[in-house]
Structure 1
Amino acid sequence: MPLRFRQEVQEVPRNRVAGIKRLACFAAGIAFSLCLPKIGFSYLAWFAPAALFYCARDASSRREAALLGFLFGFGFAGRSLFWIFHTCRFAGVPLPVSGIALTALAGFLALNWALYGAAVRESARRLPAGALPWVWALLWVALASASARWTPRVGFDLLAYTQYRWLPLLQLGAVFGPHGLAFLILVWNGALAELARKSPSRTPRNNLSAAGLMILAAAAWGTSVLAARPVPAPSPDAAAVEILQPNIDQYRKWDGRFEGDIRASIDALLARPRSAKTALVLWPESALPGWLDEPGNFSWIEGWAKRIGAPMIVGTITRSGERLHNSAVWIGADGVPAGLYHKRELVPFGEFVPMRRWLEPWIGILAQMGEFTAGGARQALFDLPIGKTAVTICYEAVFPKYGRLDAARGARVFVNLTNDGWYKNTDGPYQHLTTNILRAVENRATVIRAANTGISAVIDPWGVVLESVPIGERARLDARIPVSPFTEGSFYSRHGDWFGVAAILASLLLAAAALGERMKRARR
């Protein structure tokens, strides 16, 4: 009896400690999400992940470490994407279904963090303490890079987004892509977590100093890059682009009773006087109140192209036989279609339903959702007066692979057409704008963004927002597009995701070495 009682007494504090660690990781994930817009507490990224490292490193089991990682990731994704819950409610989705949608998405994105938590523990058991912060950062880069290749990700767990306010650090993207800054964030947090263990060794302090020096060097280099940036002065030679932000209520957009009001709003923007010859007019995603091939719609945009005497890129819904596409059509100055782009990355449960055959009988509301067809990965660029131009629609801009692919094919201008009216004034539109800033830096390309309800903007190749229109405002942004000096793009766009691939290979080598060591021990 005394022995059993002693064991029970010891079990109580052990369970309590485990519970505290789980709560700490969940809270740290929420804190990490506060780095993203609109809140934008970017400094939290340099502290919050340390809690995960500290707790997962000495977890009692691999399963416990995975749970800690999952809780961190669930807190991060659940809070940062809470605007999806609001969007479901705006659309009239029942409260329970809205909650299930957010929970399922956050849980899916948290799986990466669960795998990462387990990897943190396993590496801590096999490697020298001095190597851990560097290996942990490398493992995340490998995981993030690999995931981008095969999972239908939302993309907001690219850690570089947390530093959207710090342009000097973002310049790393032009060389390392989205993963270089993530590496610095995590190596610093890993070193911080090791220092918190109060080891008598000087190694944790040395690692933290080395990580700090790397961050300072990156910031200094980025500052020098920005200092050399030519400040664009108003020039009559710069192309004049008109960006339409009609601010059409998404929940009236497809109601036939408001078709006349929609046309009148866009007509009023296009009819405003011009001080210079227009080189391009941009309409937002699905700007037409119907299908492109409807006579009233096509004759409308054809007439405006001829009247203005400028090419236009118009967001519209198209159909080819039974296939439906979310598209952008390039209309020449003569009113004749010159190019067509189909969205490549469709929104799950928005533009298509994964596993519809099996899910629809159980979730009736899925029958009301559309089924669009994605376009090919390598679609023709638009050869416009502003240069070779690539188009992305809506959340495609979240994915670095499309910008990298288009820039490698010669695109020096990215056009992003979006309709963020679904999300109203939640965090969603601000997060979407942030992703375009990183795509501009990574590929040293100019980004021109036309958003139905905002935020429309022009972003230069250094990530500087030159001009923008606030959310919820009806406006036509008349902007001058400076010529980019980066005629060859960036190192990243020319050489691809080299840093991510290197991290994957290094991680595989580490895993192979660990497996070999385990097999040797098994033979003894």
Structure 2
Amino acid sequence: MEWRPRTGERRLWAAAALACSAVLGYLGTGLAPIAALTWLAPLPVLLLAPRVPARTALGVAFGAYLLGTANSWAFQLHSHDEPMVPVGLTINIGMSLTFVLTVWLFRSLAGRGRALLAAVAPAAAWTGVLYLVATVNPHGLMGTFANDQGDRPLVLQATAVAGMWAVEFLVMFAPCVVAALLAPAAPRAARLRTAAVGVLTFGAVLGFGILGLRGTAGPPQRVAAIAPNRYAWAPPVSDGLVAGYVREIENLPEGVRTVVLPEAAFGSDEADPAALTQPMRQVARARGVDIVLGFVQAPAQGRGVDNVALIFPADGGSPARYLKQHDLVSRPGHDLVFAPRTRTGAEICADVDFARPSRDYGAAGTSLLAIPASDNGGNGWQHSRAALLRGVENGLPVVWAAQNGTLMISDGRGRVLAQARSEGPARFTTITADVTGPVATFYSRHGDWFAWLCLAAALSGLIAALPATRRRAGTRRSPDKAAASGGRQ
């Protein structure tokens, strides 16, 4: 535990830590992460940090995280939602600098023997910074550690209490605990306290997760998602395209009560084109199914574009209209919209990159989130898991129908019940499943309380770390400067 590299070994160990963290980050994050490796990625840099000069530790931290983001570079170079310049560079460099802050705080506290604070405060700082980014960023937040755990419902149960911030904290807290226990300056008593807190924390999280996944959430409801296998953004309403979707709905298994079609499945300059609405109302009534489909209205008069979800009720009545709330192109909406005579709520694609409106739907007693979406191909899995994450936060089953991406159905506990890529040889891809939910959650009622707690813990860590920085600077002053100041320290 007292190992420190000699001066001649530091470059070797720094290079090894950089390579290990970069490879683990590359494999454990991004568009197709190996979730177990996400927890390990920060560890090599954190182990190195207290044993080498600050400049070396922080340089390794920045380089390792930045190289880890290479798993998204090819996607960013051709993405229209996340282009490399400037969005991709901003994300990659910004996340790398956030990791630098995390490592600096860990190094400062571990160097003073503050093992428990070194385990808690850096993880809290990481989480707090991401919360602030999510609060002010017009694009929302996606692709973080919590997103990487999207296929691990046992871990995700914590989000029902503390939101996605619980998972962000835990994934960084685990390597910080290990590195703090092995830090050279940590006293035995501090190590014992840190180990006890780590065991209790993860024991509580796992216990809560097991109980959550064993719980029941009411009777199942059968749902479906349909998407075309050839991408087309807001194609004009045509008899052939409408008839294709109608046939898919007619061929759904018996018992389906809700079906979701993609974002921008159709486009028109009319608000209510009869060639679309009449066939959809007829098949909705014939099959007794609520239909939620994406529709883009771009009026010829030049009024702003409306990106909406049309919700056709099972009785064949007129559709309800949900206006997308988070969009930098179309007019933003503000209202929650439900399928008539049900508690099925609608969102559209990028709405899940923000805490609201999902949290508002959860608080309003929604029974199902129906989400038309459209992705960029490579980010289909990642974005579907962002939707799943919102579902677990608020105890809501999710039907995610994305063209050029992933179709997914998950229950209120975050278990994926059906999924498929929208890229098969047939004209459409269709999935169905029986989902359970909703489940009332603490997070729906109380929101981002844990993120604010993380900000408070990070501030405490910064206050504890800053004096050590000043004292180290004081000991490095030259004798002449010390004499000129009268020997004062």
Using the size of structure 1 for normalisation, the TM-score is 0.74
| CA deviation vs aligned residue, 1:346-401 (integer Å, no higher than 9, x gap) | 3xxxxx4xxxxxxxxxxxxxxxxxx333333xx1231545x423322223323334
Change (3 A) 1:332 1:273: closer
Inter-partner Cα distance in structure 2 for 1:106 and 1:518: 28
For structure 2, the residue ranges without an aligned partner over 5 or more in a row are 1-5, 475-484
Tell me the residue number matched to 1:266: 245
Corresponding residue to 1:475 among 407, 429, 444: 429
2:292 partner SS: strand
Inter-partner Cα distance in structure 1 for 2:38 and 2:287: 48
Tell me the residue number matched to 2:408: 457
Counterparts of residues 509-520 of structure 1 (less than 5 Å): 509-511=460-462
Tell me the residue number matched to 2:380: 429
Corresponding residue to 2:153 among 167, 172, 176: 167
Corresponding residue to 1:207 among 194, 197, 215: 194
AA aligned to 1:434 is R
1:168 partner SS: helix
Tell me the residue number matched to 1:280: 258
Question: How far apart are 1:49 and its partner, in Å?
Answer: 0.8
Q: CA RMSD in A?
A: 3.9
Inter-partner Cα distance in structure 1 for 2:44 and 2:26: 14
Inter-partner Cα distance in structure 2 for 1:59 and 1:323: 57
* Larger mean Cα displacement after TM superposition, 26-35 or 496-505: 26-35
Change (3 A) 1:127 1:340: farther
Tell me the residue number matched to 2:480: none
Whether the 8 Å contact between 2:404 and 2:422 is mirrored in structure 1 is yes
| CA deviation vs aligned residue, 1:299-333 (integer Å, no higher than 9, x gap) | 55445445545442210112475211322122345
Counterparts of residues 63-462 of structure 1 (less than 5 Å): 67-80=59-72, 82-87=74-79, 102-124=88-110, 128-152=114-138, 155-198=141-184, 201-202=187-188, 203-204=190-191, 207-208=194-195, 210-229=197-216, 239-247=221-229, 249-250=230-231, 252-253=232-233, 262-272=241-251, 275-276=254-255, 279-291=257-269, 293=271, 295=273, 296-305=275-284, 307-308=286-287, 310-319=289-298, 322-333=303-314, 337-346=318-327, 352=328, 371-376=329-334, 379-385=335-341, 387-420=342-375, 422-423=376-377, 426=378, 428-453=379-404, 455-462=406-413
* Larger mean Cα displacement after TM superposition, 50-59 or 435-444: 50-59
Inter-partner Cα distance in structure 2 for 1:448 and 1:419: 13
2:129 partner SS: helix
Question: How far apart are 1:497 and its partner, in Å?
Answer: 0.9
| CA deviation vs aligned residue, 1:234-265 (integer Å, no higher than 9, x gap) | x7xx5443432232x12x55677x96664453
Question: How far apart are 1:502 and its partner, in Å?
Answer: 1.5
1:395 partner SS: helix
| CA deviation vs aligned residue, 1:119-138 (integer Å, no higher than 9, x gap) | 43444566724421122222
Whether the 8 Å contact between 2:285 and 2:314 is mirrored in structure 1 is yes
Inter-partner Cα distance in structure 1 for 2:196 and 2:72: 31
Whether the 8 Å contact between 2:297 and 2:306 is mirrored in structure 1 is yes
Whether the 8 Å contact between 1:36 and 1:431 is mirrored in structure 2 is no
Number of equivalent positions: 463
Change (3 A) 1:261 1:212: farther
Change (3 A) 1:147 1:454: closer
2:28 partner SS: coil
Tell me the residue number matched to 2:478: none
AA aligned to 1:375 is G
1:279 partner SS: strand
Question: How far apart are 1:183 and its partner, in Å?
Answer: 2.5
Question: How far apart are 1:228 and its partner, in Å?
Answer: 3.2
AA aligned to 1:185 is V
Change (3 A) 1:483 1:223: closer
Change (3 A) 1:37 1:412: farther
Give % identity: 21
Question: How far apart are 1:80 and its partner, in Å?
Answer: 4.6
Tell me the residue number matched to 1:46: 39
Inter-partner Cα distance in structure 1 for 2:48 and 2:58: 11
Question: How far apart are 1:116 and its partner, in Å?
Answer: 3.1
| CA deviation vs aligned residue, 1:33-60 (integer Å, no higher than 9, x gap) | 4234765422223322122323444664
Whether the 8 Å contact between 2:320 and 2:339 is mirrored in structure 1 is no
AA aligned to 2:77 is F
For structure 1, the residue ranges without an aligned partner over 5 or more in a row are 1-12, 347-351, 353-370
Question: How far apart are 1:99 and its partner, in Å?
Answer: 7.6
1:34 partner SS: helix
2:127 partner SS: helix
Tell me the residue number matched to 1:357: none
Inter-partner Cα distance in structure 2 for 1:512 and 1:195: 22
Change (3 A) 1:131 1:112: closer
Question: How far apart are 1:294 and its partner, in Å?
Answer: 6.9
Whether the 8 Å contact between 1:447 and 1:460 is mirrored in structure 2 is yes
Inter-partner Cα distance in structure 1 for 2:419 and 2:392: 17
AA aligned to 1:442 is E
